[in-house]
Amino acid sequence: MNSEGRHSFPLIGEKFPETHVQSTHGMINLPLDTEGKWLVLFSHPADFTPVCTTEIVAFAKRYDEFKKLHTVLIGLSIDQIYSHLKWIEWIKQNIGITVPFPIIADDIGNEAMKLGMIHPGKGSSTVRAVFIVDPHGIIRLISYYPQEIGRQVDEVIRSLKALQVADAEKVSLPENWPNNELIGNKVILPPPKDVQTAESRLKNNEGYDWWFTYKSRN
C-alpha cells in the first residue's frame, strides 16, 4: 500500500517479488524456483468459467513450446486448491487435455493483490495478467486483459521469443516480429551514440536512415 492508500505493484525492470505459494504441483518459491530459466506467470479470473477454460487449454497445448524456450509456465487464480484440482480433472475428462503446469491457489488473494491483478469493481476476481520474468528474476513484460476478453497465447510466445532474441543479440524487434510489414524477420540495431557511428551506420547496414537500420539475425 503506498502513501495515498492505493495498492502498488512491481513494474517492468523490477525484481519479481519473493513469494511462497501452494500450487497443484506442491509448494512453489518464486522467483527462486525458476532461477536460471524464464518464467511466464499468468492469472485467470476463476476456475470453471468458459473463457478461462479456453485459455488454460491453449496454454496446455503449447506447453512443449514453452519448455523448448527454457520457460516455466505457471497459472494463478483466487481459488482454493481443491477447485483447481477438480477443474483440471474436468478438463482432462471432458476436453481430453492434460494441464501439465502448476496452478497457484491464491485463495486469500494476497499474491494477486501484490501483483496488481485484482480488477476493481469485479469482486475478488483477477484480471487476465501475464508476467514474463527473465532468468535473473527481473520482470520484462506485463500485460493485462479484462475478464471479458481471452488472451492469444501465441502472442505470449512471440513476446517471449522476442525478449530472448533481444537479450542474446543486443537488438530491438519490430512490430509483429518476425512478420513485420517493413523489415520482415530482421532485427533493429541500437541507435548510434556518437556522430561517427551515425555517419557510418548506413554504409555498413540496411536501413531507412542512420537512426533506423536493421540486419538479418546472427
- CA 40, 45, 46, 50 dihedral sign is negative
Cα–Cα distance list, 141 to 6, 46, 129 (Å):
22, 23, 10
Active-site choice (52, 56, 91, 127): 52
Q: Are 125 and 78 in contact (CB under 8 A)?
A: yes
Which class for 30: exposed (0-12), middle (13-18), buried (19 or more C-beta within 10 A)? buried
Q: Are 139 and 11 in contact (CB under 8 A)?
A: yes
52 is annotated as an active-site residue:
yes
Q: What angle do CA 165, 169, 174 make, to 5 degrees?
A: 55
Q: Are 174 and 212 in contact (CB under 8 A)?
A: no
Cell 530482421 belongs to 186
Among all residues, which ones are annotated catalytic? 52
